[in-house]
Structure 1
Amino acid sequence: MLWFDHRDLRPHPNDEWYTWGRDRVGEVRDLEYSPERVIGTVESFVVRLTCRDGRLAGDCSCGWEQLRNFCEHCVAVGLAALAREPAEESLAAEPLAEEPADVPAYLGNADRATLVDLLTGLADTDPAVHQLLSLRAAGGAAPNADDLQELVDTLVRARNVEIDDIPTLTRSVDQILHTLRVVAIDHPQLVRPLYQQALRSLATSCAPDDYRVASVVNAAMSRVAEALVKVCRAAPPDPAELAQWLVDLQLDAAAGDLAVTDFADALGDTGLARYQALLEQQLVEDADPGDYEAAARADDRREKIFELRETFLAKITGDVDDLITLYTQDTSTNYRRHVKIGKDLRAAGRLDDAIRWLIFSRSEATRRQLGLTEPFGLTDLLADIYTQTGRHQEAARARWAAFEQNPTDTTYFALLRAAEPLDAVDYAKNRAMTFLHTRATARAKHADPLVTILTAIGDVDQAWAAAHEFRCSDNVQFLVARRRASKHPEDAIPFYEREVEAKIDRKQQGAYSSAARLLTVLKYLHHRAGTDFDTYLAHVKARHRRKSAFMEALAKTGL
């Protein structure tokens, strides 16, 4: 017995997914059962139905399932499973190990009548087989090009797709892929430009800044691109034309994850050379500084060209020197590219070159140009290379410079790790604490690193004393108060109460919920300290009684 029934597949009476899935039951293939799951395929999608927390759950390789919805493919597999439900004992049985059948040999020895019956039966249950045989029965003539164009044009009309449009988009892509895949068997030259049009339409269909829609569209584009690559093998395109099309698509549309690596075989050496030349020829004119939108578009285009060239050099040619030359052409505003150069040199085994480059990148002039205080990624990589090459003193000096410029618990612990090979951990600790105490006396809030690091190493008493001796931020005071609360609840209570008021003053639903949770902690702290929580809570409620959302958040916590 399966763990679900028809009611689980149709939670809402007017569920359109159920209607669509019911119409596709005949397309379900490769249905497999086990006591824990049902697996099947619909078109090119793989569906897995499982039981999670006593409820039916579906996972499908289609884009819509990325949004955690029970799609039409899941419905179809579920209905097919119920219709063909095996006996209970067969569900529990282990699958029989069978030798793979020699299908070509079987078909080669079958008589004409057997083959006709076999293909007729397949055509009755599989639309793709039916369509292919229909084309062959018509003498192999190409289907009507206008009809195919009209089918692809359904995507042209799908501009600015919103979240509610995803079911329609998914069905359109399914239908296009299903039809073109069949036509491509005999007429690959006909469908190749249609695949290319479908990709461009998808690349321009996303609503701005909606990552949910973008994830679905990117998944659809990957499927269409995969089909296009297969067609290019059967009907090779002109390499230069394909390169031009790909560059235009990547630069002028939201091509998502579409990369030159997907088309490397189809482009060949000639197409790849043309692709690289096209990217290098791209020029972006400077926009009027007063036109912010135009300037932003120009910057985006420059960044996109850079990323495409970077991918080509990293994934296609693999030439480290060319990649570094590219990076050095534009590092003035992006220190991450400085880090990337160092990583590429290190990966190529050019450790001395990597060290020289990273030292340059960490120089005062370079950091001033980049507007950075401490590019920790640079220091982290430089110290790692120093350690890798046994230059432990240089590694420790680099770590100290990073800590001195940006004293945090992260740079502190990195400093101690660098001191270990030199047997200088105690020295590093003492030097760091002296530096932090000196810094804390300099100006307001410069005690934050001292208190934070003392808290991180577990010296809560010293952190508490430092927080009172020096001036530090409210956030850091609350940080150490939370740690002190376990042994001294009476000391922590005033800081929790201050944090509650700060949360309430933000007048946001999430902040109200956080304040309510803090009040439950305060109730526990007052109980441990032997102080009056009820009177305090009554005052809080009285002060904020007009904030209905806050009062609701309190009620949910039982206060």
Structure 2
Amino acid sequence: MARKVVGFGEDDLRALAGARSFERGLGYLDAVSGLEVEEGSVTAVVHGTDVYKVELTLGGDDRPSGWCDCPYGQEGNFCKHCVAVGLTMLRRAKTIPHQQVAARVRASGLEAWLTALSRDELLALVQERIAEDRRLRRRLELRAAAARSDIGTARDRILTLIDPRPFTRYGYVEYADSSGYAQQVAEAAAALRALTADGQAVQALGLAEEAIRVLGETYGKIDDSDGVVGQAAAAMAEAHLEACKVARTDPEHLAQWLVGQVLGDSNDMTELDPLDYAEVLGPSGLARLRQLAAEARRRRPSGWAERYLMERLVKTEGDVDALVALYAQDLDPSGATHLRIAEELESAGRADEALTWAERGIRDCAAETYIDGRLVDYVCAHYAKAGRPADVVGVRRDRFRVEQSLTAYQQLRSAAQTAQCWEAERVAALAALREDARRERDGQYGGPVLIDALLDDGDVDTAWPEAAGLADDRQWEHLADLSRETHPAEALAVYLRLIERLKEPTGDRAYEHLARLLLGARDCHRALGTQEAFTDCLTGLRAELKRRRKLMNILDRCGL
């Protein structure tokens, strides 16, 4: 174990980054500059394809968390630049604790200095700062407007805060800028709550609805991979709900607005749930909400949002029969809706009706190539629980005949073994796969399922003659892997053919694959007593590909 400082060592960095990024990070040690140590974090810049900013957050005895503004780091990965900064810290292990102490002293000194300043001195300091920072000025102007109930200024500042254009590059808010934009949206939401608390709930309600509309219109132009803007928008929705409660808004007007939000495009941003407003809506508002949802459903019966809203309302009312009737209006050809109905009925204690609906789903979807596997599993589980293994086999057999996939074969095998009838079922299943394998396979990707099924059974003796002219490279390799001891000569021929094909591709994945094939070939030569032939083959390959240093390293690591 490498020595640790501030709670982590090289092994921790390797675990965080993965072997590949860790190895690449080693090459960036001389590219790290501007290392600045704070009490709980370290920042630096790393010079690579571009100049990247890196921050490592230290957590005592825990591994550090890292952030980098390189493309890979912005996806949430502990990148090679983070590795380089972490390794630089380990190189400077002796000085880090002293720098952290110095950081604490600086922070304490700053706090003491600020505490000692007079009101006028603090005011001058703040004014100096806001003169330099336009964004800070806008935020403070909003807080001031909210505090004095200046609705006109508050509206102007809120709309300015949620305007994404200052963060936009090429008409789009990129990932690196989404956090800053989210902070402004959260600041606007806080100002709305302040207005509500100051007796301006009606005004806050109108501003919140306007802000939510603008957010909905802009969300499609934001890379919100981490969801930070969505979280800030949720805070905006909470501010709206709070204002509704205090302002005692008209229930029917609120119902109309909520339906418009759920069925409109802006709901992607705020994810408003009308049922969160149940208390404010009251009986009359909920009734109006149900009426509007039903009308929208009639106008657009296939609409996802319309269906979702209606389902939420009916489900909340607890009327299982109404919910079943709603689901039954639009049965998915995969059987997924049948399953939902079955689950709702079972939850209501109506198990017999639930199984009837699930069986209906199996019948309705019998000819579909794809059927929701959970529905099939549901029916089979209930048959098994009722002591009906033959019926389980029947369901699995029917699905296998339609799908003819390896998964369906495995499921049939498991069911038939339980029912002690696998021998007969296997003969019929393999015959069906054999017939399928002999048909024209234009556009079919990969080798036939027949070969996969035989290999999954471990029946290599049957697989060898069947594979000729049918198997793809993946299946040939699997067959060779299973046959090193029993069919070493045949397996060796496969390995040598695949090795020859892998001489051209480059990259870590291809090199690792080539090493695996060579290890398989070595085992075959050992079984055949022809180790010298393998040595000659390996020597020739190394000479031919000697310029590929990474490949040579991988072969060395594998003992080749």
Matched, 1:514 2:513: no
Matching of residues 343-358 of structure 1 within 5 Å = 343-358=343-358
How far the C-alpha of 1:408 sits from its partner, in A, is 4.4
Equivalent pair of 1:396/1:418 in contact (CA under 8 Å): yes
Structure 2 residue 419 is the aligned partner of structure 1 residue 424: yes
Provide the C-alpha distance between the structure 2 equivalents of 1:487 and 1:469, rounded to a whole number of angstroms. 18
Query: Given the superposition, is the C-alpha separation of residues 333 and 366 from structure 1 closer, same or farther in structure 2, using an over 3 Å criterion?
Result: closer
Give the superposition deviation at 1:169: 0.9
Query: Deviations 1:225-251 (Å, cap 9, x if unpaired)?
Result: 233333333333222222222222222
TM-score where L is the length of structure 1: 0.64
Whole-Å separation in 1 of the counterparts to 2:317 and 2:324: 13
Q: Cα distance 1:437–1:272, how it changes in 2: closer, same or farther (>3 A)?
A: same
SS at match of 1:330: coil
Name the aligned partner's letter for residue 59 of structure 2.
T
Contact 1:184 1:231 in 2 (8 A): yes
Q: Report deviation, 1:380.
A: 1.8
Q: CA deviation at 1:430?
A: 0.4
Deviation at 1:194, TM superposition (A): 2.4
Comparing 354-363 and 446-455, the one that deviates more: 446-455
Alignment check: 8 A CA contact 1:441 1:470 kept: no
* Paired residue type of 2:429: L
Equivalent residue runs for 1:311-326 within 5 Å: 311-314=312-315, 316-326=316-326
Q: State which of 410, 422, 432 in structure 2 corresponds to 1:439.
A: 432
Corresponding residue of 2:541: 537
Q: For residue 306 of structure 1, what is the amino acid of its counterpart? A: R
CA RMSD in angstroms comes to 5.0
In the alignment, structure 1 residue 263 sits paired with structure 2 residue 277: yes
TM-score, L = length of structure 2: 0.64
One-letter code of the match for 1:189?
V
Is the partner of 2:267 in helix, strand or coil?
coil
- Distance of 1:466 and 1:319 partners within structure 2: 60
Q: Following the alignment from structure 1 to structure 2, what is the Cα–Cα distance between the partners of residues 150 and 466?
A: 77
Match of 2:215 among 181, 202, 221: 202
C-alpha distance in structure 1 between counterparts of 2:308 and 2:344, whole Å:
16
Report the Cα offset of residue 434 of structure 1: 0.7
The aligned residue for residue 519 of structure 2 is 524
Contact 1:467 1:477 (8 Å CA) reproduced: no
> Amino acid of the residue matched to residue 204 of structure 2?
V
Matched, 1:151 2:152: no
Task: Name the structure 2 match of 1:96.
Answer: none
| Letter paired with 1:311 | R
The Cα of 1:373 is off from its aligned counterpart by: 5.2
Structure 2: where are the runs of 5+ without partners?
8-35, 68-72, 80-98, 109-118, 127-135, 166-170, 440-446, 526-530
- Flag the 1:153–1:236 CA change in 2: closer, same or farther, 3 A: farther
Distance 1:527 1:259, change over 3 A: same
CA contact (8 A) 1:523 1:533 kept: no
Which residue of 2 is the match for residue 190 of structure 1? 203
Partner of 1:44: none
- Shift in Å, 1:397: 2.3
Tell me whether 461-470 or 218-227 shows the greater mean CA deviation. 461-470
**Offset at residue 182 of structure 1 (A):** 2.6
Q: Among the aligned pairs, what percent are the same residue? A: 21
What's 2:16 paired with? none
Q: Secondary structure at the match of 2:219?
A: coil
Count of aligned residue pairs for this structure pair: 450
Aligned to 2:59: 50
Secondary structure of 2:45's counterpart equals: coil
- Supply the AA of the counterpart residue of 1:377: R
Whether 2:320 is the aligned partner of 1:338: answer: no
1:288 is matched with none
Give the structure 1 partner of residue 374 of structure 2.
377
Distance change in 2, residues 1:362/1:56 (3 Å): closer
Counterpart for residue 82 of structure 2: none
CA distance in structure 2 between the aligned counterparts of 1:438 and 1:245, rounded to whole angstroms: 61
Structure 1 runs of 4+ aligned residues shifted over 6 Å read 1-4, 78-81, 84-87, 500-505
Distance verdict in 2 for CA 1:344–1:419, change over 3 Å: farther
Corresponding letter in the other structure for 1:194: L
Q: Tell me whether 1:177 sits opposite 2:172 in the alignment.
A: no
Cα separation, partners in 2 of 1:444 and 1:153, compared to 1, 3 Å:
same
Match of residue 162, structure 1, among 153, 174, 177? 174
Partner of 2:311: 310
CA–CA separation in structure 1 for the residues paired with 2:195 and 2:540: 76
The 3-state SS of whatever aligns with 1:349 is: coil
Contact in 1 for aligned 2:38/2:100 (Cα 8 Å): yes
- Asked if the contact 2:173–2:222 (Cα under 8 Å) also holds between the matched residues in 1, the reply is no
Q: CA deviation at 1:280?
A: 1.8
Is the 1:203–1:255 contact (alpha carbons within 8 Å) kept by the matching residues of 2?
A: yes
